[in-house]
Amino acid sequence: MVAQLLEPVPRTFAELPLIRPWQSLRQHLTWLEGAEETWFACKDGICWLHFEYSFHSFQIYEHGTRVELSVTDAGCPERILSEVTQHFAALLSPHDRPC
């Protein structure tokens, strides 16, 4: 039980529509300069993608018809969260981007 208390709780910071296949998300991640995929798995039709970016651990996971983006470090700077959100929004929600 003590170990559970010490584990970081991911902070969800964005939600986007899941309108592309997971292989597209994985490919798109390669275009985020400095990002490195660390883990990917699918089970029972639900997928998870973990990656490192700017010295922080991120996760993207399926939540129905949407994906949630989360970060392990709750103190991750908003600038970095915004970069990650904008990067994936370009693929998953291109019409919602500001002009």
- Total count of domains within the chain: 1
Distance CA 14, CA 1 (A): 29
pLDDT at 11 over 60: yes
Q: What is the pLDDT of residues 20-57, one digit of tens each?
A: 999 999 999 999 999 999 999 999 889 999 999 999 99
Q: Would you say residue 48 lies in a domain?
A: yes
Q: What is the pLDDT of residues 58-67, one digit of tens each?
A: 999 998 899 9
pLDDT at 5 over 50: yes
Sheet with 56-63: strands ordered across: 11-17, 66-71, 56-63, 46-53, 36-43
pTM as predicted: 0.85
Q: Would you say residue 7 lies in a domain?
A: no
Q: Would you say residue 1 lies in a domain?
A: no
Q: Would you say residue 2 lies in a domain?
A: no
Where in the sequence is the domain holding 19, given as residue range(s)? 12-94
